[in-house]
């Protein structure tokens, strides 16, 4: 029977297969406020075609949604982003991007389940939203690094000023990144993995 309009289901592509050398798979979440570049980061770094759940922002959402930047941004994540990257031959990260609009934040709990660590993306034009984001990670005990996604018209504060403003302890890494660039997003994930490794080493020696 012909199902009119249904998509053709194709088999996995060669690049969808896990490298046969892969030994460990880790779940990482990419969090942050509305429009900070979470979907962009998952998309730039993923080696498989990322799964996105973006919906067009409607007029109805304006005023209900955080409407910052809605003149230029036309789509928003309503459930999650998903991607995958092999950081080394042996280590594979599964990336889950959260929705940024506060009305979808109830989904975060499920997304945090089993996550080894998180990247908090921040936009220095709207630092205040990061307090809630960081608070939620702290509540759930998910270790994180902070990545400043540099937008062209965003103020460039020294990292130490941002650390003080966000009230972050010395050991939490803060990096600058451009979520649109694969190398930059990959470096951010490397920083997170190094941080998680150092935490594991510290607790092993206690």
Binding site partner of 125, from ligand GTP, Mg ion, none, Cβ cut-off 5-8 A by kind: none
Contact between 185 and ligand GTP (CB under 6 A)? no
Could you say which of 46, 130, 149, 191 contacts ligand GTP (CB under 6 A)?
Answer: 149
Q: Which of residues 5 and 155 has its CB atom nearest to ligand GTP in the complex?
A: 155
Helix axes of 182-204 and 38-45: crossing angle, nearest 10 degrees? 90
Q: Report residue 144 CA to chain centroid gap.
A: 11
Binding letters toward ligand GTP, positions 65-104, x by CB under 6 A = --------x--xx---------------------xxx---
Number of residues that bind ligand GTP (CB under 6 A): 21
Contact between 179 and ligand GTP (CB under 6 A)? yes
Neighbours of 111 (CB within 10 A): 21
Q: Which residues bind ligand GTP (CB under 6 A)?
A: 32, 34-40, 73, 76-77, 99-101, 149-152, 178-180
């Amino acid at each position: 029977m012909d199902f009119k309009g249904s998509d053709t289901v194709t088999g996995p592509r060669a690049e969808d297969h896990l490298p046969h050398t892969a030994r460990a798979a880790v779940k990482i979440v990419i969090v942050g406020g509305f429009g900070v570049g979470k979907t962009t980061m998952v998309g730039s770094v993923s080696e498989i075609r990322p799964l996105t759940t973006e919906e067009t922002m409607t007029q109805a959402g304006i005023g209900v949604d955080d409407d910052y930047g809605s003149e230029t941004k036309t789509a928003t994540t309503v459930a999650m982003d998903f991607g995958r990257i092999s950081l080394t031959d042996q280590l594979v990260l599964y990336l889950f991007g959260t929705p940024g609009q506060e009305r979808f934040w109830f989904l975060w709990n499920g997304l945090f389940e089993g996550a080894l660590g998180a990247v908090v993306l921040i936009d220095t034009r709207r630092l205040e939203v990061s307090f809630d984001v960081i608070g939620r990670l702290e509540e759930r005990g998910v270790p994180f690094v902070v990545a400043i996604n540099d937008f062209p018209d965003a103020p460039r504060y020294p990292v130490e000023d941002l650390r003080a403003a966000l009230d972050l302890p010395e050991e939490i890494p803060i990096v600058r990144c451009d979520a649109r660039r694969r190398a930059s997003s990959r470096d951010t994930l490397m920083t997170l993995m190094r941080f998680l490794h150092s935490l594991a080493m510290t607790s092993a020696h206690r």
